[in-house]
Amino acid sequence: MIAVLKHNTTDEQLKNLTDWLSAQGLGIHVSRGNYQTIVGLIGNTGNVDIELIESLEMVESVQRVSDPFKSMQAALNTADREYTVGIVGLGLIGGSMASAYRSAGWTVLGADLDTTTLGYAKLADIISDELTDENITKCDLLMIALYPQATIGWLNKNAAKINKTTVVIDLCGIKESVCKVGFAIAEEHGFVFVGGHPMAGTQFSGIKYSRSNLFKGAPMVLVPPVADDNNLIENIKNMLAPAGFGQFSVTTAKDHDRMIAFTSQLAHVVSNAYIKSPTAAEHGGFSAGSYKDMTRVAWLNEEMWTQLFLENGEALNFELDTIINALTQYRDAIAGQDADRLKSLLRDGRIAKENIDGNGAERLKK
């Protein structure tokens, strides 16, 4: 953590500040220039009250900077060197990440329990070599593209092997259970762990469907260990540049899981249930865009989605209860031939869509 002091800070004020901070068990490093004084705080700064320090008249700003990340950043700033990424799990997401980083000139080390997948990745030049206990320390970046419980298991097993200058990013579809473990393990072993969720994919799974441009222009959600460490976040974005993401969102693990229950998980449940209608077998010649949109994600990996749904059960059940209640209102209006009630429900839905997405009314007029 660093505190930037105002240019007119006196020697006495500086001494009083450093004495106060030292009394909190922190190491202090002072860098004094003509226009600014920077006070570096070394040690366990997790419980430091930033707002309290910023309220001091002499303080310009305060920013958290992770010590392991500073080491990693220094390594990345070294010119004329080759960067290495290790990717654990070479399915659709991990394989696509490997292809993107390989295309960008990185050395890509890959690991997968399926020896056929691992062999294919080597033959197809998706990875440079296998990720092993011996070369894992060479990684500037490690990405874990496994199911949630497998990610936790891999971290517990391999954390001691990870270099302190390495950044670890998981790519799971849920964040709270994974990040809780990831942050604790990273703090214990001295490396940086960041939760990540690339908002891209297809209804298919496996390395044969991976491609280097899967993430191009797509959103990426980041869950950093410290929300206000802008330096960390910007450098994570730079490290993810080979993937080609179009935008980044930064949030907490809990807020991520609450939102993803609505935007992704609910859609998969509804699609999967919708296709079970006995009428579906007879849809040929009667379906167009609406049917395709509704059924696209019914074709899913049931093993993966079962784990994601159960890990995020509370948030997903809230969304299921909400839509079941809404559907019941439509059903009752139709069963009762209540045209006014049905019209009101449909109007409310249209207005909700307009308010959320905008320009709805203008489109209806055309």
The residue-averaged pLDDT of 181-193 equals 96
- For residue 361, pLDDT beyond 80: no
Half-sphere exposure of 55 (CA within 13 A, CB side): 4
Q: Domain 2-63 adopts which CATH fold?
A: Alpha-Beta Plaits (3.30.70)
Determine how many CB atoms are found less than 10 A away from the CB of residue 86. 27
**Taking a C-beta distance cutoff of 8 angstroms, is the pair 308, 148 a contact?**
yes
Instruction: Give the SS3 label for residue 360.
Output: helix
**Taking a C-beta distance cutoff of 8 angstroms, is the pair 168, 144 a contact?**
yes
The residue-averaged pLDDT of 178-188 equals 96
Give the contacts of 118 (CB within 8 A, at least 6 positions apart). 90, 110, 111, 112, 130
Per the CATH hierarchy, to which homologous superfamily does domain 72-251 belong? NAD(P)-binding Rossmann-like Domain (3.40.50.720)
Q: What is the pLDDT of residue 81?
A: 63
Q: Which of 34-38, 44-48, 330-334, 343-347 has the lowest mean pLDDT?
A: 34-38
**Taking a C-beta distance cutoff of 8 angstroms, is the pair 67, 44 a contact?**
no
**Taking a C-beta distance cutoff of 8 angstroms, is the pair 123, 150 a contact?**
no
Q: What is the mean pLDDT of the chain?
A: 88
- For residue 328, pLDDT beyond 50: yes
Give the tens place of pLDDT for each residue, 59-85: 887 776 555 555 555 445 444 568 999
Q: Where are the domains of the chain?
A: 2-63, 72-251, 257-335
- For residue 230, pLDDT beyond 80: yes
Distance of CA 44 to the CA centre of its chain: 25
Half-sphere exposure of 105 (CA within 13 A, CB side): 5
Confidence of residue 365 (pLDDT cuts 50, 70, 90): very low
Confidence of residue 100 (pLDDT cuts 50, 70, 90): very high
Determine how many CB atoms are found less than 10 A away from the CB of residue 196. 25
Q: What is the pLDDT of residue 52?
A: 83
For 257-335, CATH number? 1.10.3660.10
Residue showing tokens 């942050």: 183
Describe the strand order of the beta sheet including 84-88 as a list of residue ranges.
129-130, 107-111, 84-88, 141-144, 167-170, 192-198, 219-223, 247-250
Give the contacts of 203 (CB within 8 A, at least 6 positions apart). 296, 297, 299, 300
Query: Which phi and psi angles does 59 have, rounded to 5°?
Result: -95, 125
pLDDT > 70 in the chain, percent: 90
**Taking a C-beta distance cutoff of 8 angstroms, is the pair 8, 70 a contact?**
no
- For residue 221, pLDDT beyond 90: yes
User: Burial level of 174, CB count in 10 A (0-12/13-18/19+)?
Assistant: buried
Give the tens place of pLDDT for each residue, 245-266: 999 999 999 999 999 999 999 9
Give the tens place of pLDDT for each residue, 23-32: 888 888 787 6
H and E: helices and strands count for the chain: 15, 12
Cα separation, 68 vs 81, in Å, equals 20
pTM greater than 0.85 (yes/no): no
